Structure 1
Amino acid sequence: MLTGAAKTFSKARGVLRTFCPHCGTSISYVDQRLPEELYLTIGFFDHPERFPPRAHAYWDMKLPWVEFRDDLPRVGTYSRQRDPAFRNPSDR
């Protein structure tokens, strides 16, 4: 999408996701409980290799066959503190 506005979607209270209205590509994720942060989908970038990961979040939810051969931290659930009332994404 080079012009126009992204569409929005929200399934969970306080979370807003944006996507391209033409092809459906995921663009961003905003969580009201993290007001200073905006998460952009790595596949949205022209050169995603410029943004190496710093950790693996939601490690406890990974598929059994997923393997990463690196020494990055494995974070079991959320990588940021959130209100527990909002629950884990897998419980929604």
Structure 2
Amino acid sequence: MMAYTGGCQCGKYRYEMDVLKWGHVCHCRMCQRATGGLFAALVGAPKDEFRWTGQAPPVFWSSNLAARAFCPDCGTPLGFTYDRPTSSQYVTIGSLDAPEAVVLEEQFGIESKLPFVEFCENLPKKATGEGQTAEGLAFLAQLKPKQV
């Protein structure tokens, strides 16, 4: 099985994942602030198909439910995961060694999409929580972002 690899710009933190699933861009305000960009481009893998190959990087809890991995040395945002056993580990597509392997499937958080951003307009668009199960909506209802 092929492993997909990636890491931060300075090489201190590296990861590998067995699959690339759920490639998407997220326009939500937490992702905009966490990346310092107009949106976050992310791809995931189930937690049992993802590994930090050395030490795990530190995380910042951007909300009571989401931990965002980053490199404190070079500043690379590496990804995030929700505080749920069934959640996936997501990585920033730009931190992959071969980002061209990702297939983007959707745009999320479109309620915060900036009006001048025209990117992947052919992808399906969802507002935060749209299409979630009742369990998923109950989880998101608990979300308390740390930014003001």
Instruction: Give the TM-score category using the shorter length.
Output: 0.7 to 0.9
Distance in 1 between the 2:85 and 2:108 partners?
16
2:86 matched to 1:86? no
Distance in 1 between the 2:68 and 2:85 partners?
14
**TM-score of the aligned structures, taking structure 1 as reference length:** 0.77
Distance in 2 between the 1:63 and 1:55 partners?
16
Give the secondary structure class of the aligned counterpart of 2:74. Answer: coil
Unaligned runs of 5+ in 1: none
Deviations 1:54-89 (A, max 9, x none): 0011111111101135422101124653421226x5
1:26 Cα deviation from its structure 2 partner: 0.9
The corresponding residue for 2:116 is 65
* Higher normalized strand content (fraction of residues): 2
The corresponding residue for 2:86 is 35
Name the aligned partner's letter for residue 17 of structure 1: R
In the alignment of these two chains, the number of paired residues is: 90
1:29 Cα deviation from its structure 2 partner: 0.2
Distance in 2 between the 1:41 and 1:12 partners?
18
The verdict on how the C-alpha distance between 1:78 and 1:46 changes in structure 2, with shifts beyond 3 A counting, is farther
CA contact (8 A) 2:105 2:124 kept: yes
2:97 matched to 1:46? yes
Structure 1 residues 34-43 or 51-60, which shifts more? 34-43
Name the aligned partner's letter for residue 86 of structure 1: L
Name the aligned partner's letter for residue 80 of structure 2: Y
Q: How many percent of aligned residue pairs carry the same amino acid?
A: 30
Distance in 1 between the 2:85 and 2:118 partners?
29
Distance in 2 between the 1:49 and 1:36 partners?
24
Deviations 1:6-27 (A, max 9, x none): 1221131121111113201011
Give the secondary structure class of the aligned counterpart of 1:60. Answer: helix
- Please give the root-mean-square deviation of Cα atoms over the aligned residues, in Å: 2.5
Unaligned runs of 5+ in 2: 1-10, 14-53
